[in-house]
Amino acid sequence: MAPVKLTSSYYQQFFILGGRVFMGPGRLQCITTFTTIIVACLSFFFSSGPLLVDSKICCVLLAISAVLFVLSIYFLARTAFCDPGIIPRCEFGVEERFLEPRPVGIAKGVVINGSVVTLKYCRTCLHLRPPRCTHCRVCNNCVERFDHHCPWIGNCVGIRNYRWFLLFTFTCTALDLLVFGLSLVDFVRAAEKAPRGPEISSVADLLLYTAMQRPATFFVILFTILGGTFLVMLSRLHLRLAARNITTYEHIKGASRAGRDGLFSRGAPLLNWAE
């Protein structure tokens, strides 16, 4: 499906480079996410990286970390700067729209895999929503195969950027775990070199001393612990949802509990992941 051209004042999206770059309404959140990942990774590469090149294994892992970092930024950009699948509105003139009798309770049904799916009428966009399409209250648009509105990128995740979102989540999770492991190695090495004496008589003293000697490494470890916990849970959730062909919105609304998890399923997890 080709990206749509949105020109109405109703849309809150932002376009640059002649419409080639698409940004959602949460531009500040998007910039913050980019900045956080870049600052954390550069802190690791410039603080711990030079001290880990003495080991061949660490050198290989550092190279893998650099590749994952570049891929994470690329996939994040593709997710944040992509049209998620916005369905254009049925726009009328001001007078026509005011005088147009708005349908109340209009709905149609289509049969999908032997089950009837109701197409609801969107009173904001003035059209019948296709199956799995939802109106996002933040972006104020109907998004095809709406998954969720991601506050970290300030944009919706839908049919056009869900794959990029999954790739970003998985690569960023792998990057986080790898950076955490290498930072921990650097921190332990620094702790082993700490002088022994009455001023360092406990594990807490050793931890405090090492953190003061290696503040950037200590910051990266704390950041990767917090971020890694969230990313691992997010990756696990989307692996399970993608295997059953369920969106996050459907999962929250209880589609799996209602027995509708197989409605759009292609029969096998691999086929669902491929879709």
Q: How far apart are CA 235 and CA 173, in angstroms?
A: 7
Instruction: Using CB atoms within 10 Å of the CB of residue 116, give its burial: 0 to 12 exposed, 13 to 18 middle, 19+ buried.
Output: exposed
- Cα separation values, 150 from 27, 73, 75, 76, 128, Å: 12, 16, 14, 12, 24
Contact 142, 152 (CB under 8 A): no
Q: How far apart are CA 258 and CA 60, in angstroms?
A: 48
Closest to 31 (Cα-Cα) out of 152, 147, 186: 152
Q: Is 144 left (phi over 0), alpha (psi -120 to 50) or beta?
A: beta
Give Cβ neighbours of residue 218 (< 8 Å, ≥ 6 apart).
Answer: 187, 210, 211
Angle between helix 56-80 and 27-47 (nearest 10): 170
Please report the DSSP string for 34-77 in residue order: HHHHHHHHHHHHHHTGGGSTTSHHHHHHHHHHHHHHHHHHHHHH
133 belongs to the catalytic site = no
Catalytic residue among 133, 150, 156, 172: 150
| Catalytic site positions | 150
